[in-house]
Chains A and B, each alone.
Chain A
């Protein structure tokens, strides 16, 4: 029988990994899988940091002016006698947002999964530029350290919000923070550079290094979403870098770009920041959507419904994402006609997102549903993202937003899409690809407990914030009891904080599960989820160089329940008429929990 031999594509295999010294294999590695895992550890650490900061915020909001437990250890400059100062509270809200957006969610989605999945899912041996890839990671680390270190300098960490509006951020005499604000900028410029270099790698790799037969419309949706996200990073982040540098100059060398008293334009900062900031939030959700598609197809044992429309929806969301930024500025005094155009474009962008939601639902419809842990998180994602998206529709309407801007309604929205959305997808992705990454399984029962606790506590924490916001509770305030119209809602604040403490504890539980499974999880087969995409047709974990022979791809990525097959999945590099023994799952798959048609 004739066979097709694929030509090696991209970088040649480097020398065998096990011959390399420890430092080249694990620290300064150019292997995309190792770099992805490095990003994973780094980001989980910063997720913990962000969570701790949130805990401190919630403590202050529920029990304003009370000493923080174990707070006596904090320096006098931030919390004398354990009672946090308002300035420290400002730093907390700023840094919580900063760490979560830039050092947790973004690297968890892009740094981890773009790196880990792209070469594997397109059938390449590594990225187009492995050393540049290594540089990306090792630029991000000092960026994170600088951000952490900013807590320790005089004046403390940045305290002008993660959005760093001028003139507050430009004037130490107003904010009380000098070096901390500057370090915030330096850190983000560095991180931006790392991200941009990463984007160059991802775009080049997906464009040029797809295996034979892997046409654009056979790419897994994870790859599509990461590819489009990389384009967003490429085009949006440099604008932030430029704006941040201008802000740094305002702070340090006496320029006046954003300082009105000397002819500058504070509103310019908002435009520049949000021109970046809005594509940024799509950077934070698109990869999540891609990976959720992956998991839902797998957990439903059905191809994704409307694959092409999913691709076009991703592209539409990305493109439209460049013309909606003004909806963050409705209260700024911007030109009302301009505001109206932003309102319209923002309402329009709900459409492709909705298309994706309907496609996920249609995928599950009459599917053979297996509620494994990743699937639980993926379905949870869809539910919570819908809620977050719906609140977004309210905010898109300018007259409504004039009232709810900068209230807890916005905070609710943010967290429904970033936590209920992105982080749920990340959890799903971690559970899903953990076996591939580490060769071990995470105990399914424990995973489900983690899911259930997270889902319930998340909703108790964040759903009431819709009410708080509509009741007029503003963002970033130090003491809710100070305001008559908010004081009456204090019970809600206490409830939210209690749930938040539980949510944090659940996060700690997850970290324990994660670490335990790293060392003691059951050994994983090559394809524990009976999945169709290429990464599952390699060992768990894959060897350096990924493939003995570059695979040849014959069809789309989600051939579940294929009519020509006895089993309910068909790998991308398999042909139904030629399923030779060489292509069977390596060590036999783990049967899925709810008995299905497979084996």
Chain B
């Protein structure tokens, strides 16, 4: 703390540096931290109930349809691919690529949800319900909330796509695209974990 007048600067002072990343991106990452904790609550409970509380648990493939879900996993990964290509497109100023790949992402995401719904219906038809023991309870809760997050993602993706078709994103300003991309990849990431521990282990 100086009282000397020696160093009086002139010119423009920038705001404090912060994270070095624009606000919306910080906001989305911070929000994703909370989502990690939400899924930790669900998935952590599953792990505790299954591996801690030692009860008999069906082996992979006994109840759930692994082949179909494996394909569905691939489908979701494809949607992450199209999302990233959409972002790459607008980073080059390619409006057409942006619109095409955003639309593809939304459509493929919706396909994922549809396959999930189909799977649910099959399971319920065969008498496998949320009330079917801890296996049913944890399965439907975890995948159900994941599916809910994908659905919200699809809705937002459609909104972003519509905005892209109206020319709402440019080479200079496409923060919204990157930010919804982050959410979308996160949802894919959660599924990667879920598929492994729910269907394969």
Residues from chain B with a CB closer than 8 A to the CB of A550 are 15
Inter-chain CA distance A245–B130, complex, in Å, is 13
A204 and B34 contacting across the interface, CB-CB below 8 Å: no
A21 CA / B16 CA spacing, docked (Å) = 35
Q: Contact: B10 with A2, CB < 8 Å?
A: yes
B168 at the interface (CB under 8 A from A): no
Query: CB within 8 A of B131: which of A207, A246, A254?
Result: A254
Contact B1 A559 (CB under 8 A): yes
Stretch at the interface among B65-73, B79-87, B132-140, B181-189: B132-140
Give Cα distance in the complex from A1 to B8, angstroms.
9
Q: Among the listed stretches B41-49, B93-101, B105-113, B170-178, which one makes contact with chain A, having 4 or more residues with CB under 8 Å of it?
A: B41-49
- Separation of A576 and B3 alpha carbons in the complex (Å): 6
B11 interface contact, C-beta 8 A = yes
CB <8 Å contact, B19 and A208: yes
Q: Does A272 contact B (CB under 8 A)?
A: yes
B1 surroundings in chain A (CB, below 8 A): 555-556, 559, 562
Any chain A CB within 8 A of the CB of B30? yes
Please indicate the chain A residues that have their CB under 8 angstroms from the CB of B126 in the complex.
Answer: none
Q: Could you tell me how many residues of chain B have their Cβ less than 8 Å away from some Cβ of chain A?
A: 48
Q: Which residue of A lies closest to B140 (CB)?
A: A255
0/1 per residue, B29-43, Cβ < 8 Å to A? Answer: 011011101111110
A332 to B37, CA, bound (A): 25
Chain B residues near A552 (CB, 8 Å)? 13
Q: Which residue on chain B has the smallest CB distance to residue A275?
A: B41
B11, A214: Cβ atoms closer than 8 Å: no
Which of A7, A204, A234, A578 is the one whose CB lies under 8 Å from B26?
A: A204
CB distance from A201 to the nearest CB of B (A): 7
B122-157 interface (Cβ within 8 A of A): 129-131, 133-134, 136-138, 140-141, 145
Please classify how large the interface on chain A is, using the bins under 10, 10 to 19, 20 to 34, 35 or more: 35 or more
Chain B residues, CB < 8 A from A211: 15-16
Chain A residue numbers with a CB within 8 Å of B16 are: 210-215
CB-based contact A234/B34 at 8 Å: yes
Residues of B within 8 A of A10 (CB): 15, 23
Distance of A562 Cα from B1 Cα, bound (Å): 10
- Does the CB pair A129–B41 fall under 8 Å? no
In the complex, what residues of A have CB within 8 A of residue B10's CB? Answer: 2-4
Are B137 and A249 neighbours in the complex by a CB distance under 8 Å? yes
Stretch among A75-83, A107-115, A179-187, A260-268 lining the B interface: A260-268
Distance from B122 Cβ to chain A, minimum over Cβ atoms (Å): 19
Q: Are B130 and A253 in contact (CB under 8 A)?
A: yes
Stretch of A235-243, A396-404, A482-490, A585-593 that contacts chain B: A235-243
User: With A and B bound together, what is the CA distance between A199 and B37 in angstroms?
Assistant: 14
Q: Does B201 contact A (CB under 8 A)?
A: no
Question: Taking the complex as formed, is B9 at the interface, i.e. its CB lies under 8 A from any CB of chain A?
Answer: yes
Pairwise interchain contact A242-B38, C-beta atoms closer than 8 A: yes
- Name the A residues within 8 Å of B140 (CB-CB): 255
- The yes or no answer to B4 lying at the interface (CB within 8 A) is yes
Interface positions, chain A 243-298, Cβ under 8 Å from B, are: 243, 245-246, 249, 253-257, 262-265, 268, 272
Interface contact A235-B15, CB-CB below 8 Å: no
B131 lies within 8 A of A212 (CB): no
Whole-angstrom CA separation of A579 from B13 in the bound complex: 20
* B38 partner residues in chain A, CB cutoff 8 A: 238-239, 241-242
Any B CB within 8 A of the CB of A491: no
- Judge whether B27 and A129 touch: CB under 8 Å: yes
Nearest-neighbor residue (CB-CB) of B9 within chain A: A4
Per the bound structure, the CA–CA distance linking A262 and B129 in Å amounts to 14
- Closest chain-A Cβ to B81's Cβ sits at a distance in Å of 28
Q: Given A6-B15, A200-B27, 6 more contacts at CB 8 Å?
A: A128-B27, A204-B30, A235-B37, A253-B130, A254-B130, A555-B1
Sampled A-B contacts (13; CB under 8 Å): A1-B8, A4-B9, A4-B10, A4-B13, A204-B26, A208-B15, A212-B16, A241-B41, A242-B38, A256-B133, A257-B45, A265-B48, A556-B1
Binding site for A on B (CB under 8 A): 1, 3-5, 8-16, 18-19, 21-23, 26-27, 30-31, 33-35, 37-42, 45, 48-49, 52-53, 55, 129-131, 133-134, 136-138, 140-141, 145
Q: Which residues of A contact B (CB under 8 A)?
A: 1-7, 9-10, 128-129, 132, 196-197, 199-201, 203-204, 207-215, 234-243, 245-246, 249, 253-257, 262-265, 268, 272, 550, 552, 555-556, 559, 562, 564, 576-578
